[in-house]
Amino acid sequence: MSGLPLHRRAGFRLSFRYLLAALLVIVFCFPVYWLFIISFKTPDEIFAFPPVWYPASLQFGNYWVLFKDGDAGTVWNSLVLASVSTFFAMILGTVAAYSLVRFKTGGENLAVWIISQRMMPPVAIVFPLFLLYVYFGWVDTYFGLIILYTAFSLPYVIWMMRGYIEDIPLELEESALIDGCSRWEVLWKVVLPMARSGLFATAVFTFIFAWNDFLFALVLTRTEVTTYTVQVTHYFGGQSNFWAKIAAMSVLGTIPVFITVAIMQRYLVRGISMGAVKG
């Protein structure tokens, strides 16, 4: 037994926890800070040793040049592709999941087959897809990538939404059916509100999958719908790497995800833990 009074020991334990938490925050945030700060440095500062922890002046020029050359437009491309494909995947996936749960469409096996599609490594299909896309003339089009991302996200959305919908008490839907709703109205007025947290959590992840995609975008785009992930690689040159541009582009690519997660935070925590408890 230590000689300290109880409340002081509790105090120590608490401050220890805060210390630990602060340490973890620093460890996880440092790379983000470093990326952020590089995007405002001059080339000299970037390569300086010892490292420059914070630059003397902020070089907004690193960003300016991205906008001037139109490179920043690739972030917009990513945003369009990820949002639109998420939108369609959520609609189709939720309706499909509802059908699987309530009408046992395809029996037990269809659901498993659907999620098995998710296990296919993208690289296994990207080249056949490329040939197909060349044939259809879909290479380097919004349409082509949106279809692909939607199709690729669907199994995940169906699988997740299936879990959330299964948790909705059947009585709520039956009550609505008796009260005068059609199936579609039940979906809209009962299922969606009931599965809201799960819906948002799933949408965020679906968005991030599409947002972070590199492989499909690399193979299936040229110049028109280049995504920011592909654009960043253009700054790794033969002789030199444009670190400031890489950093600035990466920051631009992080912002939308950051905002999305910030807005959806409330639902994310609940949606994820809902799934966790269910197992």
Partner 1 sequence: MSDLKISNLHKHYGGFHAVKGIDLDVPSGEFTVLVGPSGCGKSTLLRCIAGLEETSQGTIEIGGRDVTYARPRDRDIAMVFQNYALYPYLSVKENIAFGLRARKFAEAEIEKRVSRAAEMLAIGHLLQRFPRELSGGQRQRVAIGRAIVRDAILYLFDEPLSNLDAQLRDDMRVEIKRLHNELGRTMIYVTHDQIEAMTLADRIVLLRDGLIEQQGAPLDLFERPKTRFVAGFLGSPKMNFVDATATRTGVKLADGTTLDLPGQKGLKAGAAVVLGLRPQFITVAGKTVAKGHARVPAVIELLQPTGSRVQATLPLGGASIVAELAAHDVSKPGEKIHIDLDLTRAVVMDPQSGQVI
Q: What dihedral angle (degrees, nearest 10) is formed by the CA atoms of 247, 249, 254, 256?
A: 160
Residues binding partner 1: number (CB under 8 A)? 18
Q: How far is the CB of 107 from partner 1 (least distance, A)?
A: 14
- Give the span between the Cα atoms of 168 and 197, in whole angstroms: 12
- Give the span between the Cα atoms of 5 and 245, in whole angstroms: 57
Cβ proximity of 244 and 37 under 8 Å: no
- Give the span between the Cα atoms of 53 and 51, in whole angstroms: 6
Which listed residue (5, 171, 237, 240) binds partner 1 by CB under 8 A?
171
Q: How far is the CB of 191 from partner 1 (least distance, A)?
A: 11
Which listed residue (126, 181, 257, 272) binds partner 1 by CB under 8 A?
181
Q: By rule CB under 8 A, what string of x and - marks binding of each residue 128-157 to partner 1?
A: ------------------------------
For position 179 contacting partner 1 by CB under 8 A, the verdict is yes
For position 182 contacting partner 1 by CB under 8 A, the verdict is yes
Which listed residue (52, 92, 151, 177) binds partner 1 by CB under 8 A?
177
For position 188 contacting partner 1 by CB under 8 A, the verdict is no
Q: What dihedral angle (degrees, nearest 10) is formed by the CA atoms of 128, 133, 134, 138?
A: -160
Which listed residue (31, 50, 107, 180) binds partner 1 by CB under 8 A?
180
Burial of 122 from C-beta contacts in 10 A (0-12 / 13-18 / 19+): middle
Nearer to partner 1, 126 or 194 (CB): 194
Burial of 149 from C-beta contacts in 10 A (0-12 / 13-18 / 19+): buried
Q: How far is the CB of 181 from partner 1 (least distance, A)?
A: 5
Bond before 128 cis per omega within 30 degrees = no
Instruction: Please report, as ranges, the residues that interact with partner 1 according to CB under 8 A.
Output: 169, 171-172, 174-182, 185, 189-190, 193-194, 196
